[in-house]
């Protein structure tokens, strides 16, 4: 098996394991998000919990579909043998990015950690759809290589939640700081880290058509 196929397989395995974890947390362990909501102590706006929960469920459902459809579209087989499917699945991915962004826009003002974290999420709510739209504009102009690069940059942000939680866990374990402080640093660190990760992938795969 080639290195690239192995990397793709590893990414798919991470996506599957992460989505199983998310499903477990959302459906079994903490369906009302009591634990996460418990960290929201200093909110600037009163939180409508039932509405916030609906937004969260829509957010997570679209995020899961986006992670799956994006992963499928990076497969060489899907692109080469099923170009029509690749195109429609690509539009499905774009729609999920917009829905995750929309729900993020609603949840951001109530972010754990306060105003600073709200600003970080709002920046991401603009950046992520922008990267995705640039990728679409590039392919409409038949710039295949540029399309792939921008899709890699866009898809990297599907790992936002996973990266934020891993960083929050690491910061809390190492420093003993509170959850909101660790989470805030996690959110701010995740945004550049995921961008750098995408650039590393782009540079590692000199010819990204071979993914």
Cβ proximity to ligand HEM, 150 vs 157, nearer residue: 157
Q: Determine the longest span between alpha carbons in the chain, in angstroms.
A: 54
Nearest approach in angstroms of CB 10 to ligand HEM is 18
Whole-number Å distance between alpha carbons of 190 and 209: 27
Nearest approach in angstroms of CB 187 to ligand HEM is 8
CA neighbours closer than 13 Å in the CB half-sphere of residue 93: 26
Cβ proximity to ligand HEM, 69 vs 160, nearer residue: 160
Question: Per rule CB under 6 A, is residue 92 in the interface with ligand HEM?
Answer: no
Cβ proximity to ligand HEM, 94 vs 143, nearer residue: 94
Nearest approach in angstroms of CB 98 to ligand HEM is 11
Question: Per rule CB under 6 A, is residue 160 in the interface with ligand HEM?
Answer: yes
Question: Per rule CB under 6 A, is residue 56 in the interface with ligand HEM?
Answer: yes
C-alpha 71 chain-centroid distance: 12
Whole-number Å distance between alpha carbons of 67 and 16: 9
Whole-number Å distance between alpha carbons of 104 and 87: 26
Task: Give the residue among 33, 40, 199, 184 at the shortest CA–CA distance from 121.
Answer: 184
Question: Per rule CB under 6 A, is residue 49 in the interface with ligand HEM?
Answer: no
Whole-number Å distance between alpha carbons of 185 and 182: 5
> Which residues sit at the interface with ligand HEM, rule CB under 6 A?
22, 36, 56, 59-60, 63, 66-67, 100-101, 104, 107-108, 110-112, 121, 124-125, 128, 157-158, 160-161
């Amino acid at each position: 098996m080639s290195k690239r196929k192995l990397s793709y397989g590893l990414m798919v395995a991470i996506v599957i394991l992460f989505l199983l974890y998310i499903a477990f947390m959302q459906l079994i362990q903490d369906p009302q998000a009591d634990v996460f909501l418990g960290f929201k102590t200093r909110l600037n706006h009163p939180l409508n919990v039932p509405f916030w929960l609906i937004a969260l469920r829509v957010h997570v459902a679209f995020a899961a579909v986006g992670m799956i459809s994006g992963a499928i579209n990076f497969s060489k087989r899907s692109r080469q043998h099923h170009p029509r499917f690749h195109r429609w699945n690509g539009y499905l991915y774009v729609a999920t990015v917009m829905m995750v962004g929309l729900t993020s826009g609603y949840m951001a003002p109530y972010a754990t950690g306060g105003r600073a974290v709200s600003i970080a999420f709002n920046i991401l709510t603009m950046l992520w759809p922008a990267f995705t739209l640039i990728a679409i504009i590039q392919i409409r102009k038949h710039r295949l290589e540029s399309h792939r690069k921008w899709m890699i940059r866009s898809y990297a942000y599907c790992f936002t939640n996973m990266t934020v939680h891993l960083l929050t866990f690491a910061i809390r374990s190492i420093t003993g700081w509170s959850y909101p402080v660790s989470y805030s640093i996690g959110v701010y660190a995740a945004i550049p880290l995921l961008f750098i990760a995408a650039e590393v992938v782009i540079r590692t795969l000199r010819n990204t058509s071979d993914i």
